Amino acid sequence: MRRSILLGVVGIALIVLATAPWFASASLIQFGISTLLLATLAQSWNIIGGYAGYASFGNSVFYGLGSYGTAIAMVQWHLPFGVGLALGAALAVIFAVMIGVPVLRLRGHYFAICTLALAEVMIAIVSNLDVAGGNTGLVLPLLRGDALFYELSLGLLVVTTLVVLWIAHSRFGFGLMAIRENEQAAAVMGVDTTLYKVLAFALSGVFAAIAGGIHAYWITFLDPVSAFDIGLNVKMIIMSVFGGPGSILGPVVGAFLLSGVSELLSTEISTLAALFFGVVIVVAVVFMPRGLADVGRRFRQLGWRYFAENVRTHRV
Amino acid sequence: MRSAIAALVAIFVCALIYAGLGYVTNASAAPVTLGASVQLSGPLANTGRYYRDGYQFAVDQINKSGGVKIGNNHEQLALKVLDNQSDNNLAVRQYVQLVSQDKVNLLLGSFASDTVIATSSVAEKYQVPMIQGGGASDQIFDRGYKYIFGTLPVASKYFESTIDAMEKLAPAPRTVALLYADDAFDVSVAKGTRELLGKAGLKIVLDERYSTNASDFASLLARLKSSQPDAVLVAGHETEILNFIRQAKSLNFTPHFYSFTVGVPSADFRKALGADADYAFGMTSWLPSASQKDDYFGNAEEFAQAYVKRFGYEPDYHAASAVADVEAYAKALEAAGTTDPRKVRDAIAHLDFNGLYGHIQFNSVGQISLPQTVIQVQNGKVMPIYGQKGFIDKPEYPMLAWSKR
Amino acid sequence: MSLLWQVLLNGVLLGGLYALMALGLALVWGVLNIVNLAHGAFIMLGAYVCYYAFTGLSIDPFAALPLAMLVLFAFGYLLQRYLLNLVIRAPMFNTLLITFGIDVILTYLAQIAFSADFRTINPSYAGDNFALWGATVPLVRLLAFAIALALTLAMWLFLSRTRLGRAIRATAQNLIAARLYGVEPRNTYALTFGLGAALAGVAGGLYGVVSQVNPYIGTSLTAKSFAIAVIGGLDSPLGVIVGGLFLGIVESLTSLYLGPTYADVASFGILVLVLIVRPTGILGRTA
């Protein structure tokens, strides 16, 4: 019974979202595209950060690779959009495998710092590549009509969430969670940790890359600093963490909520918008480090004391 | 299960709230609204404010003199400026919002070529004209867009009057070093400058691109000292040029002549450098001279004085360019007799008038053609040195060594 | 030949400045295990303190450095004591996130408070230099280098020879045992973080004299400081000097031989390599 209610709600939600381009205003559609892409990114980070427990700042690298793969394919080699997207995704997978094997050996904050450094390196390298237009960037052809991008973004989010759903119930997923909880024990139990980690990294990368490709074509302009934007990576982490890392819908909820408020601020009280994310991060990390999903689960038992509990366990 | 349903409901509610707000804050009625997304915070905020203030000042002044005559009515102008936090992606989204949700009539531009390249696509997509005074890169005008117009002179010709002046100095510099940042505008400038230098018969002994926001020029300065050019031309951003000049002093590098694309016209740049700013050459497409008459402000000099009085800092060509954009819209609206964006666009393309900024007329790709006046900092003040009619004031040349100042 | 000598000299002096910037970060990271992404913002605040001391109160920037240290120490102490102490036992990733948030907030507030105007700290001797075997040595950079060495030595002595320093290290290594010895952790953590902030303040003041002051100088400096701290090794203050020098020289040479746009490729590329091959850095002991 519960199951069919859930499926029903999901179905209605999807139908409404999918038909939105026909009755919503243009600015709502663009908010939709932007949010759907962010939700996809948060969800992709969820795979490597939430399930495998490897806090990666490298998803912005995959995003950038996807953006540039698509842009170069379309602008320099005049290939169609779909091929561009595939190229971007392929670049991401290659990168994930080649870099993933050495980098995933690092633990904890070293991994995070290393992926952050990788993002900086990519910005610097791409700025010097002529095929990528150097630091002046690439200009993509203009496509009128956002409906295509909207539907693509929605489709991508659905696919990514389905993959996360599969991960949560599969052996692969259990392996990842085992790695997250205690990597050495997982290895002893027979989990091929390197393979699993690299696979998670690559999966995470593919979705981030496709999101990047869609975004590049939509915005029609690409330059290294905004393509490999580390701030974007932090945003996707915050959204995922705020919503609940390691859960299926947590990152999506986090993305929608935070994105909605941020967009609202940016357009109405635009001067405060920059402050908003900073404050959200601080408050979320102190009071709800395990995200909304955890709040949802334990609020009923503990009420407002839930927040105080979080502080108590983590303070010195 | 429950939490999943709760999650979906939450998403739904958010979307509905946002959609609802979309209909509620639905735009302004009568006045003709101009919309812009400007860098009011973030690294480019220092220059972005000239645009916000320039736009506001012009709108207020036009309204004070009776507004814009469209058909038989006098309409007031309104302005909506959003802060894009120096983020290009946000700027694009803000322009889409201005057009589709806030329903502004016409668009004004941001600062910086990168931002203009990205956001002009919005103008083109939605077929609403955008007049901008912040981007000069050739890339903006290379795409065959019909709805973008620019009041900054062409990037590739930025150093044209400087090189003309250089040829007439005695003794004329013969070797030149060209340094430029790696963003759209400066790369365009460098490309054009190379050709101009070639035509003038000047030899380029060092031609180097550096990273935007570079803070350390020591290696470049070492190479400059070793290749000993007579003149150095730098195309970059104020922050980099500030670092360059300070480090040139501390590394004791003095060419006979150096000129910069930005910085010199701006008061706070000169103030930050103090006496170190002396001898630096620069260029400006605008000077606050009384001979440039304006329908709304009297003349350029009066405008500059009124601007300082209102905003507390001196305007430079950024602010004047912003004012020109608004004035261009006023004239175009009067010529078109309607606020229909397509008709206004055509009216803009046929504009031909003089204002405090200069002669406003756009060519077939939407760009203005304005000569740059060569300026120099002498004893802390900006002096016009060379214009279309030759030398205006005497340049202090060659540059005095740091130790002798 | 003298071009190479000048470039090398530039690299060494730049390295000194870099090391100074990274010192506070390395202390807090190595001892407290806090990765402070707001470090650059502290540097920026230190620069502003010195700026206002110089232009408002006519205090010489070098004389104002202790003032910057004091102000930033107090700020860092309070921040750790009343905010960061709340999350310090959470997974390390959380402190990373929260310091990022603090960085965003501080940069924003700085812009509101100080505006985005260009400023420099420009005492009369800012451009002074002297010749050394055919190369020019900027005076202020040499002084910064000397200050970096002095502070590193001071910090090493402090951590290894003084009671407080040993208490700090003890708290970092084994909280329970340290408590048994009467060390009060909340205060100790706050003191350490305050020290890290104070060091950032000094770096900021000097950066303002060498370069410029605006609310956005922090971001790139945080990234650089990371590279230096990791490359040099977090275990000892000496590692920071080594890391700074190494990076300064590499960047200068890369700029000379490959071009100025490759400096960042070199520094971050080396950071990645070091992390992969020898995460404890050049001087770190292998764990």
Q: Where are the domains of chain A?
A: 26-230
Residues of chain A with pLDDT under 50: none
Type of residue numbered B168: K
CB contact under 8 A, A249 and B88: no
Nearest-by-Cβ selection for A121 from C89, C90, C268: C268
CB contact under 8 A, C220 and B215: yes
pLDDT of residue A262: 82
Q: Where are the domains of chain B?
A: 1-27, 32-153+288-360, 157-284+372-404
Contacts of A260 in chain B (CB under 8 A): 14, 17-18
Nearest-by-Cβ selection for C275 from A114, A241, A313: A114
Mean pLDDT of B52-56: 96
Contacts of A67 in chain B (CB under 8 A): none
Contacts of A100 in chain C (CB under 8 A): none
pLDDT of residue A153: 92
**A129 close to C (CB below 8 A):** no
Q: The complex's ipTM?
A: 0.90
Q: How far apart are CA C59 and CA C37, in angstroms?
A: 30
pLDDT of residue B21: 54
| CB within 8 Å of B364: residues ≥ 6 apart | none
Q: What percent of chain B has pLDDT over 90?
A: 72
pLDDT of residue B26: 47
CB contact under 8 A, A315 and C268: no
**A281 close to C (CB below 8 A):** yes
pLDDT band at B184 (very low <50, low <70, confident <90, very high): confident
Which residue of C4, C51, C130, C136 to mutate against B (max B Cβ within 10 Å)?
C136
CB contact under 8 A, A315 and C35: no
Residue B392 confidence (pLDDT) above 50: yes
Q: How far apart are CA B376 and CA A186, in angstroms?
A: 70
Nearest-by-Cβ selection for A127 from C35, C230, C261: C261
Contacts of A221 in chain B (CB under 8 A): 88, 114, 117-118, 121
pLDDT of residue B29: 46
CB contact under 8 A, C35 and A109: yes
Residues of chain C with pLDDT under 50: 287
pLDDT of residue A288: 85
- The predicted model scores a pTM of 0.90
Residue B178 confidence (pLDDT) above 80: yes
Residue B27 confidence (pLDDT) above 60: no
Q: Which two tokens stand for residue C26?
A: 């390395």
Nearest-by-Cβ selection for A314 from C86, C175, C269: C86
Give CATH for domain C2-277: 1.10.3470
pLDDT of residue B24: 47
Beta strand pairing call for B381-387 and B390-391: antiparallel
Nearest-by-Cβ selection for C108 from A237, A274, A280: A274
CB contact under 8 A, C129 and B213: no
Beta strand pairing call for B231-235 and B175-181: parallel
- Which of A49-53, B125-129, B218-222, C232-236 shows the lowest mean pLDDT across its residues? C232-236
Contacts of C93 in chain A (CB under 8 A): 55, 108-109, 112
Nearest-by-Cβ selection for C10 from B42, B219, B239: B219
Nearest-by-Cβ selection for A315 from C86, C92, C275: C86
CB contact under 8 A, A316 and C88: yes
**A225 close to C (CB below 8 A):** no
Give CATH for domain B32-153+288-360: 3.40.50.2300
Q: Where are the domains of chain C?
A: 2-277
CB contact under 8 A, C189 and A316: yes
**C261 close to B (CB below 8 A):** yes
**Burial category of A316 from C-beta neighbours within 10 Å (exposed 0-12, middle 13-18, buried 19 and up):** middle
When comparing pLDDT for B301 and A22, which is higher?
B301
pLDDT band at B356 (very low <50, low <70, confident <90, very high): very high
Contacts of C83 in chain A (CB under 8 A): 282, 286
Contacts of A277 in chain C (CB under 8 A): 101, 104
pLDDT of residue C286: 55
Residue closest to B219 by CA, chosen among B231, B230, B206: B206
Query: Is the domain B157-284+372-404 a CATH 3.40.309.10 member?
Result: no
Contacts of B46 in chain C (CB under 8 A): 116-118, 214
pLDDT of residue A2: 66
A119 to chain C, minimum CA–CA distance in Å? 9
pLDDT of residue B52: 96
Q: How far apart are CA B330 and CA B201, in angstroms?
A: 44
Nearest-by-Cβ selection for A6 from B4, B137, B143: B4
Q: What are phi and psi of C35, to 5 degrees?
A: -90, 105
pLDDT of residue B28: 43
Helix locations, B169-292, DSSP H: 184-200, 218-227, 238-250, 267-273
Buried/exposed code over C142-157 (b: 16+ C-beta within 10 A; e: otherwise): bbbbebbeebbeebee
CB contact under 8 A, C87 and A102: no
Question: For chain B, which chains pass the contact test of at least 3 CB pairs under 8 Å?
Answer: A, C
pLDDT band at B1 (very low <50, low <70, confident <90, very high): low
**Burial category of B19 from C-beta neighbours within 10 Å (exposed 0-12, middle 13-18, buried 19 and up):** middle
Which residue of C35, C84, C89, C97 to mutate against A (max A Cβ within 10 Å)?
C97
Q: How far apart are CA A120 and CA C275, in angstroms?
A: 14
| CB within 8 Å of A109: residues ≥ 6 apart | C33, C35, C92, C93, C96
**Cβ(B32)–Cβ(A279) under 8 Å?**
no
